[in-house]
Amino acid sequence: MRPTAGSPYLRGMGQVVEGTPRWAVVAAYVAVASVLPSAVWRTAIGFGAELGTTDEWREFQELPGAGTWYVVALSVLSIGAALLTFGLVRPWGERVATGLAVGVATTGALIVLWICIVSVVNWDQIIGFKGRPAPGWYELAVAAYLPALLWAPAVLAATWAYWRRRTEPAVEPVTGFEPATSSLQERRSTN
């Protein structure tokens, strides 16, 4: 039997819409978890933790200072956007029109995917280690941002399950028919 939202081991994860596959619920949690490490990294730098970055980079980014508002807002917005993924598997997401939910989720996931690609290509300029040996700090930064690459695929997976659940017709059980075969015992008793 395939696990679904009604499975006992998913009850502790909150109320999930009936018919939601387990992998979609997992995808929603992955979407949220994938943004947390980078949000913590950005916020720490925003409040003055050097974390191996260059003085010039922090000065250019105005961290700490005016840039702090930007990195904190970016962290809060990314976590908030990721939390909206739960709407694809929870009852409160059923209140939104299917096309709107799928459109917003897909567009958001594609934007995040584009940002991730641009960030990977320009990683040295973005992260603030360019030209500076920072043993351990660089690896920590990569570890903090690497999970963010899972965000878009996780949202797309949850969106696919949402779309399928909302658009595919429900299969109703067929009633009024006798079983195609009966037991040998029943056939012998009637003869």
* 98-114 residue pLDDT tens: 999 999 999 999 999 99
Evaluate whether residue 45 is within a structural domain.
yes
Distance, in Å, from the CA atom of 183 to the CA atom of 187, rounded to the nearest integer, reads: 7
Q: Which domain holds residue 43?
A: 8-190
Query: Is the alpha carbon torsion for 155, 92, 37, 60 positive or negative?
Result: positive
Residue 145: exposure state from Cβ atoms within 10 A (0-12, 13-18, ≥19): buried
Neighbours of 100 (CB within 10 A): 9
Evaluate whether residue 2 is within a structural domain.
no
What's the predicted TM-score (pTM) here?
0.77
61, 64, 67, 69 alpha-carbon torsion, rounded to 10°: 160
The answer for residues whose C-beta is within 8 angstroms of residue 172's C-beta and 6 or more apart is none
Check if the beta carbon of residue 161 is closer than 8 Å to that of residue 30.
no
Query: Is the alpha carbon torsion for 6, 10, 11, 17 positive or negative?
Result: negative
How many structural domains is the chain composed of? 1
pLDDT attached to residue 174: 54
* 163-178 residue pLDDT tens: 999 998 766 655 655 5
What DSSP state is assigned to residue 42? H
Evaluate whether residue 111 is within a structural domain.
yes
Evaluate whether residue 150 is within a structural domain.
yes
Evaluate whether residue 3 is within a structural domain.
no
pLDDT attached to residue 8: 46
